[in-house]
Amino acid sequence: MFTLYYAAHTCSLATHIVLEEVGADYSTVRIDFGSAQQRSPEYLKVNPKARVPALVTDRGILTETPAMLAFVAQSFPASDLALMGDPFAFAQIQSFNSYLCSHLHIAHAHRMRGYRWVDADDAHSIAAMQRKVPEAVGGAFELVEREMLRGPWVMGERYTICDPYLFTLAQWLEADGVDPGRIPKVVDHRRRMSERPGVRKAIAQELA
């Protein structure tokens, strides 16, 4: 039994999708960013980083999406969503998801969370970061389009834990000022992902 702490419209959706697709027994706890619940004493006991997602397991609590995705996939080996039988393929999966986590998601975060890098009252610097977002996020997605998305799925013919993660970040393209016409393969991947039953169920649960 897992418990996923999540917030709507965040990267927690990726793990939520994978929990659905492997048929895990899980429950969810919604964290309300509007009331700063992520910084409440109760939640900080779960995740001292004051971020989502967090995944409670019978062995302890996990944070950071790439680790959570790999753990869920490994916990359900029949799903083969992490290609664990091929060490190089698994390393490629980790490389892709690490890029999304350490670069693409960070570029996106500059649009609404500039206060993480400069003083909150430094309006000039925050505005400069926001202006850079379309270029930074767009460039990252163009690299994914050109070099990483093999098609039809990230790893080629095999659907893996890379796909829910890419789909989740691609939800924010337009809001980040990225022209979808520049990345047709990413947009087509987003469309096909949105048609999967597990994806639809996870989104419906998060938006309920």
The whole model's pTM is what? 0.96
Rounded mean pLDDT of 155-174? 98
Between CA 158 and CA 154 the distance in angstroms is: 8
- Domain 87-199, what architecture? Up-down Bundle (1.20)
In the prediction, which pLDDT does 135 show? 97
Domain ranges of the chain: 2-80, 87-199
- What residues contact residue 181 under an 8 Å CB cut-off, 6+ apart? none
In the prediction, which pLDDT does 65 show? 98
Per-residue DSSP letter, 155:
T
Q: What is the CATH number of domain 2-80?
A: 3.40.30.10
pLDDT digits (tens, 9 = 90+) for 128-157: 999 999 999 999 999 999 999 999 999 999
Between CA 62 and CA 12 the distance in angstroms is: 12
The yes-or-no answer to whether 2-80 and 87-199 have a common fold is: no
Whether the Cβ atoms of residue 15 and residue 57 lie closer than 8 Å to each other = no
Rounded mean pLDDT of 88-114? 95
116, pLDDT greater than 90:
no
CA atoms within 13 A on the CB side of 150: 13
In the prediction, which pLDDT does 59 show? 97
